[in-house]
Amino acid sequence: MPDGALKSGAYRAFTARDIDAIPQLAALSADARLRLRAVAQVLPFRVNAYVLEHLIDWSRAPDDPIYQLTIPQPEMLGDADLSALVDLGRRGSEAELQARARAIQLAMNPHPAGQIDLNVPIEAGAVQRGLQHKYRQTVLFFPAQGQTCHAYCTYCFRWAQFVGLEDLKFAAREAETLVEYLKHHPEVTDVLFTGGDPLVMRTSVLRRYVEPLLRADLPHLAHIRFGTKALAYWPARFLTDPDADDLLRLFGEIQAAGKHVAVMAHYSHPRELATPAAVAALQRVRDSGAVVRCQAPLVRRVNDDPAVWADLWRAQVRLGAVPYYMFIERDTGPKEYFKVPLARALQIYQGAYRQLSGLCRSVRGPSMSATPGKILVDGVTEIEGKPYFVLRMLQGRNPEWVGRIFLAEYDPDAAWISELRPAFGAPDFFYAEELAELSRQRARVRLNMLGETPPTAA
């Protein structure tokens, strides 16, 4: 590893309990730390020494993008909620504090886009809470031990996984459920290990989930993906951790079994690729034969600048990774703090795209991972003097929707598909009726599982 690449030693996480022990936060006033602890009662807070020492530019805090990316901000909560939590914190009313925090969490759309109601499969009369199957070819798997991260992103759309909402948590404790599900679904070609971050697990634990897939008779399974922020937040996972070499061997064993390995890396800002450790970690993963594909959401205060994205995508290609997706920040958690209107998102994407060579133009965006599917904001067109958003379905719950182009009324303030109106006065977008019927079918199945009688349509 290059000299000076990593000086933080063994991994150490700091959470809300450690706010006063983080040296870099000592410059904050006591009231500021109290507000930070209040926000951390609602939204997850976890950071590590590498992020604190190598990624955050403390001379620019709180405006530094990595500071915004990892340190919860008071403005992420409404004034009334923040004031109430601060007051309860001062009074030491722990039970009331937790109750108020829980009420705020449940009002923040904790699992958007039908993740629980529509994505979680029901197989043989049982809800498979450790799986999601939204798109025909791809199953998401949530290993129980991988439902945390080396550090938490303040924008994370899966924030509800990390704040004690156990009844809303996705987690599976054994691989057998996944293997059996795949045996009954030969249409599935891809399994995505996700969370959280599956690469927080020791390799010996990860093997217990991966090896059954390799031993099973699953000729249709072609690709195994790992969604991770570890390359950005803890590159030692691939360099100096005790089982780093074994992790890379596991990637090689997956490929030897005839499966493609894709590491779905989350890089939100060019600085995450600027340290010697980050460069060395990415190189080791590529040397294992795995392909690294890069994705991140567009986040206000972090990367809402065409130059930032152009630098990020150029750095990824220079280091041998593949730019994959620019996402729109989802309608969950502190969405008002981070959201970027779709019109501005398109300007940022196009402004960055124009600066790139063809090798960088593998990236797709800006894309919304919404209830019906992945919806791309493809451009703005003008018809009889009136502007319209041009939208394209990149992925859909119904594969027949994929590739469909449709139009929406242009709205400079809209930030999500639910805030758009169909063009030309149409009552709904093309998928609405079928999606509604799918929702009704799932509701009937759940009621039948509970032994209840579905309501009769009027």
Percentage of residues in the chain with pLDDT exceeding 70?
95
Q: What is the average pLDDT across 251-280? A: 98
Q: What is the average pLDDT across 186-196? A: 96
Amino acid in position 404: R
Question: What are the DSSP E strand ranges found in 65-174?
Answer: 122-123, 126-127, 131-135, 138-141
At residue 376 the predicted structure's pLDDT band, cuts being 50, 70 and 90, is very high
DSSP state of 289: T
Give residue 451's pLDDT: 62
Give residue 14's pLDDT: 95
Where b means 16+ CB within 10 Å and e means fewer, 141-164 reads bbbbbbbbbbbbbbbbbbbbbbbe
Judging by DSSP bridges, how do beta strands 223-228 and 260-266 pair with one another?
A: parallel
- pLDDT of residue 216 exceeding 90: yes
C-alpha–C-alpha distance, residues 316 and 310, integer Å: 10
- pLDDT of residue 198 exceeding 70: yes
Helices and strands (H, E) in the chain, number of each type: 14, 15
Q: Residues 319-374: pLDDT tens digits?
A: 999 999 999 999 899 999 999 999 999 999 999 999 999 999 999 999 999 999 99
Give residue 4's pLDDT: 36
C-alpha–C-alpha distance, residues 83 and 362, integer Å: 46
Cβ atoms of 153 and 229 closer than 8 Å: yes
Q: What is the average pLDDT across 366-384? A: 97
Q: Which residue ranges make up each domain of the chain?
A: 29-106, 115-438
Where b means 16+ CB within 10 Å and e means fewer, 283-318 reads ebbeebebbbbbbbbbbbbbbbebebbbbbbbbbbe
Q: Residues 408-430: pLDDT tens digits?
A: 999 999 999 999 999 999 999 99
Q: What is the average pLDDT across 42-48? A: 95
Q: For residue 387, give the nearest of 349, 444, 346 by alpha carbon.
A: 346
Residue with tokens 């699953």: 218
Q: For residue 437, give the nearest of 412, 457, 453 by alpha carbon.
A: 457
Give residue 168's pLDDT: 60
Q: For residue 401, give the nearest of 436, 437, 369, 375 by alpha carbon.
A: 375
Query: What radius of gyration do the chain's Cα atoms show?
Result: 22
Phi first, then psi, for residue 145 (nearest 5°) are -75, -5
Quick count: other Cβ atoms within 10 Å of Cβ 10? Answer: 9
User: Is the peptide bond prior to 196 cis by the omega test (within 30 degrees of 0)?
Assistant: yes
- pLDDT of residue 166 exceeding 50: yes
At residue 5 the predicted structure's pLDDT band, cuts being 50, 70 and 90, is very low
Which residues does 223 contact at the CB level (< 8 Å), separation at least 6?
A: 189, 190, 191, 259, 260, 261, 262
Residue 260 to residues 192, 263, 358, Cα–Cα distance (Å):
12, 10, 24
- pLDDT of residue 73 exceeding 80: yes
Cβ atoms of 137 and 220 closer than 8 Å: no
Look up the CATH architecture of domain 115-438.
Alpha-Beta Barrel (3.20)
Give residue 392's pLDDT: 98
Give residue 10's pLDDT: 85
At residue 279 the predicted structure's pLDDT band, cuts being 50, 70 and 90, is very high
C-alpha–C-alpha distance, residues 268 and 338, integer Å: 13
- Specify the higher pLDDT residue, 348 or 166: 348
What average pLDDT does the chain have?
92
Cβ atoms of 20 and 34 closer than 8 Å: no
At residue 457 the predicted structure's pLDDT band, cuts being 50, 70 and 90, is very low
Question: What are the DSSP E strand ranges found in 113-188?
Answer: 122-123, 126-127, 131-135, 138-141
Give residue 167's pLDDT: 64
Cβ atoms of 155 and 302 closer than 8 Å: yes
Percentage of residues in the chain with pLDDT exceeding 90?
82
Cβ atoms of 179 and 209 closer than 8 Å: no
Q: Residues 100-159: pLDDT tens digits?
A: 999 999 999 988 877 888 998 988 778 888 999 999 999 999 999 999 999 999 999 888
